Amino acid sequence: MTKHLFLFAALLCLAGCQPPASIKSDPPSNAEDPFLWLEDVEGEAAIDWVKERNQRSLAVIESHPKFAPLYENNKAIYNSQDRIPYVTQMNGYLYNFWRDETHVRGIYRRTTMASYKQAEPEWETVLDVDALAEADGENWVYKGMSCRYPAYDRCLVNLSRGGADATVVKEFDLNQQAFVEDGFYLPESKSALAWVDMDTLMVGTDFGPDSLTDSGYPKITKLWQRGTNLAAAKTVFTGEQADVGVYPAVLHDGDESYRFIIQADTFYTRNWFVLNAQDQPQLLALPKDIGFSGLINGQAIFELKSDWQPKDHPFTQGSLLAIDFSDFLAGDQNFTLLMEPDDKTSISAVTTTQSKVLINTLQDVSSVIYQKSYQAGQWQSQRLDLPQFGSMSVSGSSDQNDEVFINYSNFLTPSTLYHYNAQTGDSEAIKSLPAWFDAADLTVEQYFMTADDGVQVPYYVVKRKDLVLDGNNPTLLYGYGGFEVSMRPNYSATVGTNWLQDGGVYVVANIRGGGEYGPDWHQAALKENRHVAFNDFIGVAEDLIARNITSPAHLGIYGGSNGGLLVGAVFTMRPDLFNAVICAVPLLDMKRYNQLLAGASWMGEYGNPDIPEEWAYIKTYSPYHNLQADQQYPKVFFTTSTRDDRVHPGHARKMAARMEAMGHAYYYYENIEGGHGGASNNNQSAYLRALMYSYLWLQLGGDQ
């Protein structure tokens, strides 16, 4: 359990640029949309449509000679006992959630540190989700639990039906390993909760009419006492209807605890309130886009998303600041600069232990970790001696000690988990993945594409060392380009076995819209500048072709969620560049995205299509509206999930239906469950990956 708060972050033109040449006319109005009926998620007609398209597409893809062996290979990977069991720390135990072929829905289990360091730890099962699902007659998908600090004796377990974001919340006794009879319980909703003490919760949920925002998240926070009616609980904060959501949080620093209300008015801006002894919210004097990274030894840590000058000292965008929190609450603005990244560096994550702060940075998209400690009124700093030129993540930290786990990998190096003692500086590699594919003949190269505005955009290419640059190599280009999410070099057993080992080339593009170079890299592609991300992606594709690594006939692209919007926009803008497109759980109808499920929460990223001035730029890339009957498109593979309650499956359904009406061929697969990840268990994940890579080999050629 860490002390840092959850940061609200779950897709080359400048303002006023001309629309792409492929756009010939304004899109139809909503009244002219003949496929609105496909937005009826579980409507009989819509489900019949889905089943027919599934059957038609799967008959082709599953018949590809690679599908069956890939599916078996992927099941072996996803269910392997050799996977690293990543853990969280709570009160002397290490906890892990585990799925395999025996535990399809999964088990929540625990062990000790000494046992965990052994090759075969001794695990004690705490909660068996398969057994629970059978007993309850529900298709439960485990979505995590929140346990009471510092005793970690009671937990709030989140259970989803079929993988949706909305969950049922049940109170669980961690010591007795049983659900609490007549304990805290919330019916299915996108709830937000925090423990105050054994008998008190801060809770936001669906309280009834006018209790949810337009985005479908809580608008109201209440203090709920054990044994009382939730409807009668004391309201401590009410947000606005247009807010993304209102979220409670309790932050601990030793024996001190603070109750927060986070009013997210957009995806990237929020008001921070702390509740006083009378349960009244006090607004913190902070920029609305600041990140609150944690409390440690009385010091509050903040990350700037834009330049800021509190008092008379200016700080630059991307900097990490600290201040005595008690003094800050009293009005002090004397912040200390902890880190100021340069133009090649960004802060990707901040983690606190009992007495240390670990700052995970990206330097030209490779991880470097620094450690800070606050002693005798001064901050001390050091760089951790860990492997370079890869991706690292810090996990399993605790408020009760200085021990953490650091995972390292790169495209060709299987994940290695280090146990690191931040107090002593000692580290040891304790677990690692097996090599799922032979990387001896592979190499990784980083290239930089020069965008039209002169910006250097990096991308990684993973390929055979003896690759012949003749333009005939099947190549998969992956990207995301949104929400300040960084695409880092990570080991993927399925990419290796499904693609690389048979001669495929794998490319990851670090385009603008992501967070690879800090907040400015992200903000460069917001709203009216969205074409920056799309043009960066197109530029990387063109660069691959110019280097003769591949050609349009052998180039495929893949993106999910916001990345689904990315590839959807790009294939409608430049269909000549690609012969395969995997468009997964995508946003595609950008006229209605803000009216579907959680879509309204993303208007800070894309803009509001209900405002004419903003629709004027959104419509220039909305994939659903830029399809043309007289254009030739690659045979796109759309994937989505009926149970995705974050990005509406209607996006993929309607896009496919419109292509079909125009006479364009496509493939379609909608999992009837699975949530936003597209799959709710390991076998479903293995199946989906087998479909994707079989499709790629079908479209892009190579060894059949």
pLDDT of residue 297: 94
On whether residue 44 sits in a domain, the answer given is: no
On whether residue 518 sits in a domain, the answer given is: yes
CB atoms under 10 Å from CB of 422, counted, come to 24
Q: Are residues 181 and 62 in the same domain?
A: no
pTM: predicted TM-score of the whole model, two decimal places = 0.88
Q: Are residues 658 and 607 in the same domain?
A: yes
On whether residue 286 sits in a domain, the answer given is: no
**How much of the chain is helix, strand and coil, in % rounded to 5?**
25, 35, 45
On whether residue 556 sits in a domain, the answer given is: yes
pLDDT of residue 311: 85
Work out how many domains the chain is built from and give that number: 2
Are the CB atoms for 417 and 430 separated by under 8 Å? yes
Residues contacting residue 135 through CB under 8 Å, at least 6 positions apart: none
pLDDT of residue 676: 58
Nearest partner of 492 among 581, 408, 412, 558, judged by Cα: 412
Type of residue numbered 370: Y
Type of residue numbered 250: V
Q: Are residues 602 and 521 in the same domain?
A: yes
Q: Are residues 65 and 135 in the same domain?
A: no
Q: Is 537 helix (H, G, I), strand (E, B) or coil?
A: helix
- Domain termination site, one of 154, 189, 224: 189
- Domain termination site, one of 157, 172, 189: 189
- Domain termination site, one of 189, 205, 227: 189
pLDDT of residue 675: 54
Q: Over the chain (704 residues), what is each successive 10-residue block's mean pLDDT? A: 35 28 36 90 95 97 98 95 96 96 96 96 98 96 96 97 92 97 96 98 97 96 97 97 97 94 96 97 97 95 96 93 96 96 94 96 96 92 91 94 96 96 94 96 97 97 97 98 95 97 97 96 97 98 98 98 98 98 97 94 96 98 98 98 90 98 98 63 92 98 54
Domain that includes residue 647, residue range: 51-75+436-700
On whether residue 167 sits in a domain, the answer given is: yes
Burial class of residue 11 (count of CB atoms within 10 Å of its CB; 0-12, 13-18, 19+)? buried
Q: Are residues 57 and 108 in the same domain?
A: no
Tokens representing residue 522 in the block: 């992200």
Q: Are residues 128 and 64 in the same domain?
A: no
Q: Are residues 494 and 555 in the same domain?
A: yes
Strands 505-509 and 456-464: antiparallel
pLDDT of residue 26: 40
Tokens representing residue 668 in the block: 């379609």
Q: Are residues 450 and 573 in the same domain?
A: yes
CATH of the domain at 670: 3.40.50.1820
Q: Is 439 helix (H, G, I), strand (E, B) or coil?
A: coil
pLDDT of residue 18: 29
The residues carrying an active-site annotation are 561, 676
On whether residue 530 sits in a domain, the answer given is: yes
Q: Are residues 611 and 691 in the same domain?
A: yes
Q: Are residues 453 and 559 in the same domain?
A: yes
Residues contacting residue 618 through CB under 8 Å, at least 6 positions apart: 530, 590, 591, 606, 607, 609
Q: Are residues 179 and 68 in the same domain?
A: no
On whether residue 636 sits in a domain, the answer given is: yes
How far is residue 70's CA from residue 62's CA, in Å, rounded to a whole number? 10
Strand order from edge to edge, sheet including 281-283: 245-253, 256-264, 270-275, 281-283
On whether residue 109 sits in a domain, the answer given is: yes
Q: Are residues 69 and 160 in the same domain?
A: no
How far is residue 213's CA from residue 220's CA, in Å, rounded to a whole number? 9
- Any idea which residue has 């792409």 for tokens? 20
pLDDT of residue 5: 40
